[in-house]
Amino acid sequence: MVAATLLAGTVAHIERVVRMFEFPSIDPVAFQIGPLVIRWYALAYLGGILLGWAYADRLVRMTALWPRGKAPGTPELISDFVTWVTLGIILGGRLGYVLFYNPGYYLFHPAEILFVWQGGMSFHGGLIGVSLAILIFTRSNGIQLGSFADLVASVAPIGLLFGRLANFINGELWGRVTTAPVGMIFPNGGPEPRHPSQLYEAGLEGLALLLLLFVVGQYTRALSRPWLITGIFGVWYGASRIFVEMFREPDAQIGFLVGGVTMGMVLSLPLVLGGAGLIVMALRKPAA
């Protein structure tokens, strides 16, 4: 009788713990006005771009941080660049997902490449898109490329933070099955607890990277060394992404590559190597 009571109590406790870590019921639709549906994912993109714009505007006004006291652009130029960076994020992110993660499907369904609202965006593709936008914009306006790249890198973690939180709200890109206390049951992830890898990425690639670049940029005169902030961004993001990929469930259509390596790891390794190279190059030159 005592054993049965203890067993029942243990089962009840386990059920309470499991319920505690079930995915919170969050409607991916923020609000709806008639036929117009506004999703949290869209608001995350919008919020990241607007807050990044505001932060970039503040940084270019702090002229003492930049080489020879000259910021890479004016508030007016930053406003103009918002359109460029938005196109770079959306077009690059979507095409990156198509080419890196699901080329076979879109080869036979090319019209669906335009269906951005159905999901499927790649950070690495977005990075390429934004990089091209930076290159074209700086050359068109006679802006120093390295410092402008540092400016964009300084604010980019805001968008990464918002984007990963939106992934969590959508219940997508969840992690691998785990028995750890942090495990969470996702609606589309089966009955077993999984790592909330979206939150790991939000913390490491978003909040932690934002704080790191803020401290380094504000208190070490890193912004006076073109490419240094960009290099730090590349190393931190790449290393963080590779680390989180150890907990994140790989895309079903790709799975694991050789030796348990994932596509995210492969695409992030060049960021670590390239970022390290930019750091070395920037530190070899004296601060301006």
Beta bridge partners of residue 32, listed in sequence order: 37
282 token code pair: 């920037």
Degrees to nearest 5, angle at CA 279 with 273 and 281: 105
Residue 118's pLDDT is 67
Q: Given a cut of 50, is residue 17 above it in pLDDT?
A: no
Q: Given a cut of 80, is residue 14 above it in pLDDT?
A: no
Cα–Cα distance measured from residue 265 to residue 287, given in angstroms and rounded to the nearest whole number: 33
Segment 231-287, tens digit of pLDDT: 999 999 999 999 999 999 998 889 999 988 999 999 999 999 999 999 999 999 887
**Tokens 């369904």 found at:** 109
From the CA atom positions of the chain, what is the Rg in Å? Answer: 22
Residues composing the chain: 288
Q: Given a cut of 50, is residue 13 above it in pLDDT?
A: no
Segment 36-86, tens digit of pLDDT: 878 888 899 899 999 999 999 999 999 999 999 999 999 999 999 999 999
Segment 98-150, tens digit of pLDDT: 999 989 888 888 888 888 766 678 999 999 999 999 999 999 999 999 999 99
Cα–Cα distance measured from residue 264 to residue 262, given in angstroms and rounded to the nearest whole number: 5
Q: Given a cut of 50, is residue 16 above it in pLDDT?
A: no
Residue 63's pLDDT is 94
SS (H, E, C) the chain: CHHHHHHHHHHHHHHHHHHHCECCCCCCEEEEECCEEEEHHHHHHHHHHHHHHHHHHHHHHCHHHCHHHCCCCCHHHHHHHHHHHHHHHHHHHHHHHHHHHCHHHHHHCHHHHHCHHHCCCCHHHHHHHHHHHHHHHHHHHCCCHHHHHHHHHHHHHHHHHHHHHHHHHHCCCCECECCCCCCEECCCCCCCCECCHHHHHHHHHHHHHHHHHHHHHHHCCHHHCCCHHHHHHHHHHHHHHHHHCCCECCCCCCCCCHHHCCHHHHHHHHHHHHHHHHHHHHHHCCCC
Q: Considering Cα of 122, then 125, then 129, then 135, what sign does the dihedral take?
A: positive
Give the residue with greater pLDDT, 137 vs 10.
137
